[in-house]
């Protein structure tokens, strides 16, 4: 293969050549050109969720989890109480983040094959008034399930609780509008549906909430109040910025807007997802989720029933044909995942299905139906 394999993973993703080329420059972190790029990027990010009036956006160095950790630490007072709605691995991660930071944490667990429940949340908030914040994962990337953002937001607003949304794998692909959906913080990252490269997270924080967050974080590097204050004062990042990541994201954002923004991205990912599920069905593969709960972001498939099936060998055969799969994240059932996101279209997805078909033949795995 003389080209990079296509990444069918939930980040890092396959990026365009234009995005990759944007990284072939060195930028000074104090330089006005770089600061202008950061400022433009922040305005564009706010525009994507209709939050220019209501929220600020604070970028942070690191992977997406760093930004989740920073959001929880900055927004939740040390004597606060976080309720995390849990239907998968990323929900559990947020619960662990809050626990490790010493915030009182309650995890409301639900089965992994269905969405979390706004009704259960409503009951939990009635039962325990000490809860101050709700942690919510919009698309649970561990399975690909879409959780009910509007309903959860409505319940939180009605109870006067702060909502912290991990929209890492949904932001810029699924519709989210801060004028319709009330939230205190929403977290996403450079290397997901914006199709930038990994290395930077960002957190939208409601302006009225940010004002009360000074000194709440127990971390120096992950204090979003300080990061924001410094950026507003100087136009610069507080500590060394991921300059090449920001440059790549600026270029990825330009392409995102040129292509038609969030609706266009959702349409492409939906076409990818449909091509994938239809093609895999012909090979005998069944999705783990009921179609009703499936977000067009990442699909979990049951592994072939064949006794000779082994994910490592399967992965290697598919990789030889130019596609990188993702292991499953479920403990009870054998699965693997295929991402629908990144700078790829339905044709690439059809080729991925073909590669999987050839890999199955090469491994002597009969179709699993």
Ligand X SMILES: *Cc1c(COP(=O)(O)O)cnc(C)c1O
Binding site for ligand X (CB under 6 A): 10-11, 63-65, 68, 90, 137, 141, 166, 168-169, 189
**Please, which residues have CB within 8 angstroms of residue 324's CB and are 6 or more apart in sequence?**
5, 6, 7, 8, 9, 315, 318
Least Cα distance to 301 among 314, 310, 288 occurs for: 288
Q: Token digits for 271?
A: 């076409």
Q: Looking at beta carbons only, is 67 or 108 nearer to ligand X?
A: 67
Evaluate the omega torsion of the peptide bond into residue 12 and state whether it is cis, within 30 degrees of 0.
yes
DSSP 210-265: HTT-TT--S-STT-HHHHHHHHHHHSS-SS---HHHHHHHHHHHHHHHHTTHHHHH
Q: Looking at beta carbons only, is 63 or 227 nearer to ligand X?
A: 63
- Residue of minimal CB distance from ligand X? 64
Chain-centroid distance, C-alpha 50: 18
**Please, which residues have CB within 8 angstroms of residue 265's CB and are 6 or more apart in sequence?**
172, 173, 193, 256, 259
Q: Looking at beta carbons only, is 166 or 251 nearer to ligand X?
A: 166
- Minimum CB separation of residue 168 from ligand X in Å reads 4
- Minimum CB separation of residue 67 from ligand X in Å reads 8
Q: Looking at beta carbons only, is 201 or 304 nearer to ligand X?
A: 201
Chain-centroid distance, C-alpha 23: 22
- Minimum CB separation of residue 61 from ligand X in Å reads 12
* Nearest-angstrom CA–CA distance, 17 and 343: 10
- Minimum CB separation of residue 265 from ligand X in Å reads 16
Q: Looking at beta carbons only, is 117 or 141 nearer to ligand X?
A: 141
* Nearest-angstrom CA–CA distance, 242 and 361: 44
Q: Looking at beta carbons only, is 141 or 335 nearer to ligand X?
A: 141
- Minimum CB separation of residue 89 from ligand X in Å reads 9
- Minimum CB separation of residue 2 from ligand X in Å reads 29
Q: Looking at beta carbons only, is 91 or 344 nearer to ligand X?
A: 91
Q: Which residues pair with 83 in a beta bridge?
A: 106, 134
Least Cα distance to 184 among 77, 86, 262 occurs for: 77
- Minimum CB separation of residue 62 from ligand X in Å reads 8
Q: Looking at beta carbons only, is 64 or 241 nearer to ligand X?
A: 64
- Minimum CB separation of residue 164 from ligand X in Å reads 12
Q: Token digits for 312?
A: 């490592």
Judge contact between 19 and 255, C-beta under 8 A.
yes
- Minimum CB separation of residue 211 from ligand X in Å reads 27
Residues counted in the chain? 369
Q: Token digits for 150?
A: 């509007």
* Nearest-angstrom CA–CA distance, 210 and 189: 20
Q: Looking at beta carbons only, is 90 or 301 nearer to ligand X?
A: 90
């Amino acid at each position: 293969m003389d080209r990079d394999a296509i990444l069918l993973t939930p980040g890092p993703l396959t990026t365009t050549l234009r995005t990759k080329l944007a990284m072939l420059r060195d930028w000074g972190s104090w330089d006005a050109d770089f600061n202008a790029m950061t400022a433009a990027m922040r305005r564009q990010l706010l525009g994507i969720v209709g939050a220019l009036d209501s929220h600020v956006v604070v970028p942070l160095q690191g992977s997406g989890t760093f930004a989740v950790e920073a959001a929880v630490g900055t927004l939740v007072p040390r004597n606060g109480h976080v309720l995390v709605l849990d239907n998968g691995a990323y929900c559990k991660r947020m619960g662990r983040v809050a626990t490790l930071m010493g915030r009182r944490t309650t995890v409301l667990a639900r089965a992994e094959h269905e969405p979390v429940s706004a009704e259960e949340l409503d009951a939990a908030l009635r039962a325990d008034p000490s809860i101050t914040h709700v942690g919510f994962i919009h698309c649970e990337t561990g399975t690909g399930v879409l959780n009910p953002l509007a309903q959860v937001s409505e319940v939180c607003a009605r109870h006067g609780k702060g909502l912290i949304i991990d929209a890492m794998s949904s932001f810029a692909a699924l519709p989210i509008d801060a004028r319709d959906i009330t939230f205190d913080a929403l977290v996403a990252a450079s290397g997901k549906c914006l199709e930038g490269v990994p290395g930077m997270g960002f957190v939208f924080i409601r302006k009225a909430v940010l004002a009360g967050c000074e000194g709440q974080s127990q971390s120096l590097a992950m204090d979003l109040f300080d990061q924001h204050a410094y950026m507003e004062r100087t136009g610069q990042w507080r500590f060394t910025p991921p300059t090449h990541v920001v440059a790549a994201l600026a270029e990825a954002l330009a392409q995102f807007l040129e292509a038609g923004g969030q609706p266009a991205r959702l349409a492409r990912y939906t076409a990818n997802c449909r091509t994938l599920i239809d093609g895999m069905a012909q090979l005998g593969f069944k999705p783990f989720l009921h179609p009703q709960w499936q977000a067009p972001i990442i699909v979990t498939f049951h592994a072939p029933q064949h006794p000779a099936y082994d994910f490592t060998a399967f992965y290697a055969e598919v990789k030889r044909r130019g596609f990188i799969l993702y292991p499953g994240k479920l403990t009870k059932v054998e699965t693997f995942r295929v991402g629908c996101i990144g700078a790829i279209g339905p044709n690439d997805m059809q080729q991925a299905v073909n590669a999987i078909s050839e890999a199955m033949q090469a491994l002597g795995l009969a179709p699993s139906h």
